[in-house]
Amino acid sequence: MIAGALDYRLPETVREATEQLAVEPRDTCVIGGGTWVVPWLASGERTAGRVVDLRRVAELRAIRATDDGVLFGATVTYSDLVRGDTSAGPLRLLALMARGVTGGVQIRNQGTLGGSFVAARPSSDAPTALVALDARAVVRGPGGERRLAAVELLAGAMRSALAPAELLTGFELPLQQDGGIGYVKLKRGASSWPLVTAATRLELDSSGRLEAVRLVVGGATATPLVIDVSTVLGSQGDVAVLAEVERRTSAAVVEPYADVLADGSYRAAVAPVVARRAVAMALADARRDRSGERR
Ligand SMILES: Cc1cc2nc3c(=O)[nH]c(=O)nc-3n(C[C@H](O)[C@H](O)[C@H](O)COP(=O)(O)OP(=O)(O)OC[C@H]3O[C@@H](n4cnc5c(N)ncnc54)[C@H](O)[C@@H]3O)c2cc1C
């Protein structure tokens, strides 16, 4: 139970939500799905005099194709992605990620991608997948709208770069060629939190050589790490590609993240293996695509 009275606001438009947030931003708490913030308010870990609950803002729950890609709202849930039409395009990787989120149907139905992103927990699934897709975050505040690379919204472990009066309204995903995707995470048990995650998307040319690859590792450092694997471009042999992916990931994790679930040396040691598995999965997926098996 939340002790004390709250000024509870239930806006129906983004404009109303930003206006209500701007009244007293430092004393206001935004609720997306509330799976984190409501328990925080109940336990006293977070205090606020006002809350702005986004559940009735239909435009924040929408997913639509644009000329440049896909735009989806901050309150899109994991279940929206799992149930939606995600057979092609950038949403395919998000749906693959969303299917693996633990916590059961309640968390998948209520937890939002925007809430996960703003909470900025290093080993959360959504930030890694969104950064791998080169997502741009759309942010609305009293000064208007701004767009920035989603990774720039993550200021550190559990710290977003949103100003107190700003609302995350959604993400833009650029158009991408079909190719291969991979999403892999390491966790201690089936229902536990991820420790380290890796998301990748890649393209093969007509002779099966790697033409483009983007690899992001989460949970190994405070914010998702984009691994430079450009040295594998043009390669064809999986053994050499995967060995290079491991080497590059190992070299990139210089300041590993540590928490009660795993210390930094463990995360640094497993990150290359998780990255390797994600790339192997994406290579197999890309080959299924080329052979027509995926359609
Ligand atoms: C039992 C359990 C299991 C879980 N398992 C996993 C798992 O396997 N993988 C994983 O990644 N996550 C997992 N989670 C976490 C889950 O993904 C998050 O709780 C959820 O995504 C957060 O979204 P939310 O909308 O509920 O956030 P909320 O609780 O509503 O908000 C979280 C934070 O973001 C802020 N916020 C929310 N929306 C906005 C917005 N649009 N603009 C500005 N600020 C905003 C809030 O003020 C708050 O600070 C689990 C959680 C639980 C409880």
User: pLDDT (tens digit, 9 = 90+) per residue, 235-282?
Assistant: 888 899 999 999 999 999 999 999 999 999 999 999 999 999 999 999
Note whether residue 194 is domain-resident: yes
Residue range 115-159, pLDDT digits in tens: 999 999 999 999 999 999 999 999 999 999 999 999 999 999 999
Q: How many residues does the chain have?
A: 295
pLDDT of residue 295: 61
Q: Which of 56, 71, 88 is the last residue of a domain?
A: 56
Q: Are 160 and 36 in contact (CB under 8 A)?
A: no
**Domain containing residue 269: CATH number:** 3.30.390.50
Instruction: Give the number of the atom of ligand 1 that is nearest the alpha carbon of residue 110.
Output: 26
Does residue 77's CB lie within 6 angstroms of at least one atom of ligand 1?
Answer: no
Residue corresponding to tokens 């937890």: 111
pLDDT tens per residue, range 76-111: 999 999 998 777 788 999 999 999 999 889 999 999
**pTM metric for this prediction:** 0.96
- Asked whether residue 89 falls in the same domain as residue 151, the answer is yes
Count: domains in the chain: 3
Range of 157's domain? 58-174
Same domain, 170 and 123: yes
> Is residue 207 exposed (0-12), middle (13-18) or buried (19+ Cβ within 10 Å)?
exposed
Q: Is residue 294 part of a domain?
A: no
**Ligand 1: does its nearest atom lie under 6 Å from the Cβ of 91?**
no
Which pLDDT score is estimated for 200?
A: 98
> CB burial class (10 A; 0-12, 13-18, 19+) of residue 65?
exposed
* 3-state helix vs strand vs coil in the chain, percent to 5: 40, 25, 35
Same domain, 65 and 169: yes
The chain-wide mean pLDDT, for the chain, equals: 94
Q: Is residue 120 part of a domain?
A: yes
Of 142, 174, 206, the residue that ends a domain is 174
- Residue 179 near ligand 1, beta carbon < 6 Å: no
Counting atoms of ligand 1 from 1, which one is nearest the CA of 192? 8
User: Residue 218's closest CA among 137, 127, 156, 130?
Assistant: 127
Percent of the chain with pLDDT over 70: 99
Protein residue with its CA nearest to atom 9 in ligand 1: 101
CB of 171 within 6 A of ligand 1: the answer is no
